[in-house]
Structures are given as structure tokens and as C-alpha cells.
Amino acid sequence: MPEELFGPLSIKALEEDRYERLTSCYLPTATVAFIDEIFKANSAILNSLLTLLNEREFDNGVNRDETPLSCVVGASNELPEGEELDALYDRFLLRYQVMPVSQENFVQLLRLKGNLKPKPDLKWRLTMEELEEIQDSTELVEIPEDVIVLLQELRHFLNKQQIYISDRRWRKVVKLLQVAAYTNGKNDVSIWDCWLLQHCLWATPEQRKIIFDWYQSRVGIKASFNPEKFSKLIAAWEKKLEYENSPIQAKNEKGNLLCINKQGEKSTRKGEVFAERDGEALYLAPPSSRTMPTHKEKGYTKKRIFRNIL
């Protein structure tokens, strides 16, 4: 009933012809809320829940009050049926299916004593100030082009699978990815942050695996092999290794380059004799060219230096 979530009607307000609720200690004044059997909500409270979950506002009589709500967790033993619940279902970004206790842990379940209460480690508790700082700072986290392309491809894939995702939900997904990146000390969303998508975009539990398999096929351990890209990568590394292992011209103790003169002795550039090919002097490529300095010890002509390197 609405009274269970939003508080009882104010008798005093009714005497003054005002329809208002006493919301203190109820959902409109909560920071964190847990709503059990969320999809059993009757039509009388659906619209109020939609406004409260999306705009964080509550219509109380003729007033629309802002609420401090930061997080709402809903639980249900059944998925929503009927279009009237679709909008409410869409408001919950992260979805997780809790399975029954496994066969291996069933004996443990039977031996549990009493009503165990969770004991959270308080060092992980966030203050409201910290939460607000995260919310404000995540707007500065960049969405790189490769992540944009991934989301575009995923949307196209989901459309083909007839899995509908609202525009509102895509916007919330991006915000979640920014939060994940920021709280991990990064300034940009990465492809690996998109692992969270499997928990955001399914409508039925069976769809989660479809989304996860698609993600794995793009960036996970099942990433498709691209032989053309791999060949280019190998060629680039071979060229780099060839350059780094190419002969380097010797220098004397003063750092001057040494050459072999006509007598076969080492000498500095002063009085050196250029190597020639067909009567034309040969040169080494400058280091800034990112080319093999000696051209496999064949040297470069002046014409080739200026045309192909400089």
C-alpha cells in the first residue's frame, strides 16, 4: 500500500482540505532504500515510484519535494509481467540474479544457526560528501572512440536479438562506466570497464549470457583472430628490431665519428674519404629519420636522402 512506502496521510492536513503525507522515516526522506517484492506494487504507487526513482522527487499534495535518495535496491521473486511495469523495471540499472544454494553448500545451509546478520566492514562506508564528489567528478571522465564504437555495435547486436534498451538506459550505462573508471583512478573509460554491461542490459536472465558472450568475442579470451592486423603488427616490430640492431658508426674518445681512410686506418671526418657508388658519394641516414642508418651497409645517395628521407 502507498502508506507502507510513502507514509500515512496527515489528518491535520485533511482537516484543512490538503492531501499530504507524513513522509518522515519513509521512502521520500531515505538516502538508501530496499524495496522487497517491488513488482507487486499496485497502480496507486507506480507513478509516484517512477518520479521518485528517476527525478529523485516526490509529489506530496500540491508540492513536489526533493528527496535525498542515493540508492534503491529492489528484490523480486518474479520478473514483471505487463506493460504497466516496464517503465518501473527500466529504472533499475544493475540487475543480478540470485540463484538457490548449490548442492555443494546445501549441508551448510541446513546447519545454519539463528538469524545471522551481516557485519559490513565500516572502512568501506562512503560519506555523502564522498558520494557527491564522485558524482560530480565522473562528468570529467572521457569516453574514448573505441568504447563508443563498442557500444554502437552492441546496440546494433541487441536490436537484431530483439532486446530493447531504452535511450534513458544507455545514458545511465555511460554514467556507470564513468563511475567505474573514476573510482579505479582512471581518466578514461576503457574497454574492460564494459564488462559491467552484462549486468545492465538484460531483461531476462537468459539474455545476460548472450550479452557476455558477445562482449567476450570482441575483447575477452575469445577475441577473434585478425590475420591481416597480426601480420602488420609483426612487420612493424621486425622493422623496429632491424633498425635497433643495425650497425652504429664508431666514435673516438671525444665522440667524433670515425671512418676508414684510403690507408685502411680509422680517422675522424676531417680528411675522410666518402664511400662512393658509380662515382657518387654515399651517406648515412640521419637518426631522426627512423630509417636504417647504413641501408644494410650500402649507404644512401644524396638524391635519395632528400627525396625519401628528409
Walk along the chain (310 residues) in steps of 10 and give the mean pLDDT of each run: 90 91 94 91 83 91 91 92 87 93 91 79 85 90 93 95 94 95 93 94 94 87 55 75 68 78 70 67 70 68 67
Note the pLDDT of residue 31: 92
Note the pLDDT of residue 257: 78
Note the pLDDT of residue 202: 94
3-class DSSP assignment, residue 190 = coil
Note the pLDDT of residue 295: 65
Residues of the chain with CATH 3.40.50.300: 2-92
Note the pLDDT of residue 178: 96
Which amino acid, one-letter code, is at 185?
G
**Cα(62)–Cα(295) distance, integer angstroms:** 84
Compute CA 117 distance to the chain's CA centroid, rounded to the nearest angstrom.
34
- Note the CATH number of domain 122-219: 1.10.8.80
pTM: 0.65
Residues of the chain with CATH 1.10.8.80: 122-219
Compute CA 138 distance to the chain's CA centroid, rounded to the nearest angstrom.
12
Count how many residues are written for the chain: 310
Q: Please say whether the structural domain 2-92 has been given the CATH code 3.40.50.300.
A: yes
Q: What are phi and psi of 63, to 5 degrees?
A: -100, 145
**Cα(109)–Cα(196) distance, integer angstroms:** 30
Which amino acid, one-letter code, is at 300?
Y
3-class DSSP assignment, residue 48 = helix
